[in-house]
Amino acid sequence: MKKGLIAVIVVGVLLMVGYFMFKGMFNQMNGLREQTKSQWANVETAYQRRADLIPNLVKTVKGYADFEQETLTQVIEARANATSINLNAGDINPENMAKFQAAQDKLSGALSRLLVTVERYPDLKANQNFLQLQSQLEGTENRISVERRRYNEVVRTYNTYIQNFPQFILANLRGFEAQAYFKSAEGSETVPDVSFD
C-alpha cells in the first residue's frame, strides 16, 4: 500500500511539473508571437506614413509644369501597388514577405528617382512645402529602417525560442510557425559607382 501511494504521488508530481512546464512554454511562445504581431503593426504604420506623404509630394511636384510626368507616374503606380499588398501578421511567410518587400522596394526606387530628378529644378528644390515633405519623407524612411530592424530582432527571439528543445515539440503541436525576416533589397550589398564627370 505504501509503495502504491508513493508511486501515485511521484506520478502526480511529474504530471504537475510537466503541466506547469508546458503551460510556461506555451505562454512564452504566445507572448513572443504577440510581440511579433505588435512589431509588425509598427512596421506597417511606418510604411503607411510614407504612403500618406506621397500624394502631397506628388501634388507639390506637379505644380511645376515642365516636371517629367513619367517619373510622377512611376511614383503613383508604385504607391498604388505597395498599398494594395496587405500582409497580416498571421500571414507572414517567406513568400508573402518577398511580395510585400518587392512592392515596397519598388516604391523606394521610384521615390529615389523622383528626388534625383528634382535636382534639375532649382525652384522646386527651394520650395518650402517640398523641403518640408522631403524632410518628413527622409524621417519616415529612417523610421521604416528602425522598425524593420526591431521586427527582425523580435522575430529572431521568437523563432529561436520555438525551434529550441523541448519547445519545438509544443510549437509543432500547437501550430506555432517561424516568422519570415525582412531581407536587404537585392543589389544593396553593391556599392554604387559615383562619377563626377
The whole-number pLDDT of residue 7 equals: 86
Measured between alpha carbons, how far is 178 from 33 in angstroms, rounded to an integer? Answer: 9
Lowest mean pLDDT among 10-19, 20-29, 114-123, 131-140: 114-123
Lookup result for grid cell 506623404: 53
pLDDT of 185: 67
Per the structure block, which three cell numbers stand in for 85? 499588398
Average pLDDT over residues 45-64: 89
- Residue corresponding to grid cell 527571439: 157
Q: Which residues, in sequence order, are CB contacts of 126 under 8 Å at separation 6+?
A: none
d(CA 112, CA 163): 39
pLDDT score for 3: 82
* Mean predicted lDDT score pLDDT of the chain: 87
Is the separation of the CB atoms in 170 and 33 below 8 Å?
Answer: no
Query: Measuring CA to CA, which residue among 152, 135, 153, 143 is closest to residue 47?
Result: 143
What does the pLDDT read at residue 186?
63
Amino acid letter for position 26: F
Tens digit of pLDDT for each residue in 70-129? 888 899 999 999 999 888 888 888 899 999 999 999 999 999 988 888 888 888 878 888
Taking the C-alpha atoms of residue 193 and residue 182, their distance in angstroms, rounded to an integer, is 26
The pTM assigned to this predicted structure is 0.82
Cα distance between residue 146 and residue 157, in whole Å: 17
Let me know: does 36 contact 154? Beta carbons within 8 Å.
yes
CA 169 to chain centroid: 28
**All domains of the chain, ordered by start, with CATH?**
28-168 (1.20.1440.20)
